[in-house]
Amino acid sequence: MESNQRPAQAAGTYTLGGDLPVTRLGFGSMQLPGPGVWGAPKDPDAAVQVLRRAVDLGVNFIDTADSYGPAVAEPLIKKALHPYPEGVVVATKAGLTRQGPDQWLPVGRPEYLRQQAEMSLRILGLDRIGLFQLHRIDPKVPVEEQLGVLKDLRDEGKIRHIGLSEVSVDDVETARGIVEIVSVQNLFNLADRTAEPLLDYATEHGIGFIPWFPLATGKLAREDSPLAELATQHGASASQLALAWLLKRSPAMLPIPGTSSVAHLEDNVRAAEITLTDDEFDALSGAV
């Protein structure tokens, strides 16, 4: 394919842990299961097509979790992409359990985390997971035990790198005293920047920052969003500007917009081709 047919590559790459390059604009699989991230998608074949199209467009970083479904997103990824094209990195997570739609309960017992890592290896059809993330720190379990088992799994060659999800700067500093942390994943988008201290810390320390809900669950993509007028002036969609803003905000930023629609996927990925000026970046920052 010519480069313009793989637009995600225009965002450049980020190297996790010094040895694992990923496209800075990835794909998040959280929206592939049914409503409430619960159960199978209405159209499983369409979900498979979205995943395959993402890779066709140059995305090589696919983010997922055992709890998406649960056990729905990971099998869809294997069905769509296995055997995985060279360079494709599947990042998964464990540490949240499911009791129903939109219900999430952290469980960080070492034996549970090990079990889920082994299950993800089998379900995804991988010999080693490129990035394995602790989905939440369980306050009922010593963090040394939670990260200790992930370190053991890394040392055994079952996972390559370790990341954290929804943490503070203090959490990351504590974790880094136990094991190397290569990424953090927190809520962050143009409308919600409460994680900026963590983003700045990650950028300074060479840690990838994966913003979940990068489009504020679609609110920033609506025609009546504060971005709409600026998007029209730019000849782009509101969602593209929101993602371009993220990419410019920090070189460590790794947005993973998710969707169950090929059309929305194609629109999102084209954001990688937009380079905002400093003035445009400031205007977007002030508009929301």
> Three-state SS across 213-258?
CCCHHHHHHCCCCCCHHHHHHHCCCHHHHHHHHHHHHCCCECCCCC
Query: Cα-flanking dihedrals φ and ψ of residue 90, to 5°?
Result: -105, 120
| Strand-pair category, 13-16 with 20-23 | antiparallel
Compute the distance between CA of residue 83 and CA of residue 114 in angstroms, rounded to an integer: 24
Distance (Å, rounded) from C-alpha 133 to C-alpha 147?
A: 10
Active site positions, annotated: 68
Q: How far does CA 241 lie from the centroid of its chain?
A: 18
Reading the block at residue 227, the tokens are 């971005």
